[in-house]
Amino acid sequence: MSDPTNPFEAMLKMGQDMAKSMNPALEAFTPKGFENMMPTMSAEVMEQFMGKGISPDGLDAKTRLLLTLTGLTIQGAQGEAQIRLTVRHLVEAGATKQEIAETIGQAAMFGGVPAMSKAMELATEVLDAEKED
């Protein structure tokens, strides 16, 4: 921490150096793919715990997940794993590609085109992978 002009950069470097000293493999660490460690819930489970099961007169699980996707899209690139996971759950809940794309497109009004473009790229990756399986 010899350069006091940018304390954030110094703190980041210190954390990286500490991680490398504990485990050299962490130098190339990336959280990309963490969402694959969480299984996709079945449509019935999602409906029970996020939809009509918890609130019979309220929103269904698919609508709640579309709203979640809107919020994650507006946040931008900081929610990559969460966007992928939410899209996977949306497919399981019965959402169409069109519904997912329109939800992400609508979020551009609030989060901007770069956030929408990134979310659309992530959703496309998930949807293409779902198609292959």
Looking at per-residue pLDDT, the higher value among 133 and 111 belongs to 111
CA distance 127 to 100: 10
CA distance 59 to 115: 26
Q: Is the pLDDT of residue 25 over 80?
A: no
pTM over 0.85: no
Q: What is the pLDDT of residues 74-95, one digit of tens each?
A: 998 788 989 999 999 999 999 9
Percent of the chain with pLDDT over 70: 91
pLDDT score of 11: 82
For range 90-118, the mean pLDDT: 94
Q: What is the pLDDT of residues 7-24, one digit of tens each?
A: 878 887 888 788 778 877
| Residue keyed to tokens 């996020």 | 50
Cβ proximity of 124 and 82 under 8 Å = no
Cβ proximity of 123 and 87 under 8 Å = yes
CA distance 110 to 70: 9
CA distance 8 to 6: 6
| Residue keyed to tokens 């990559």 | 80
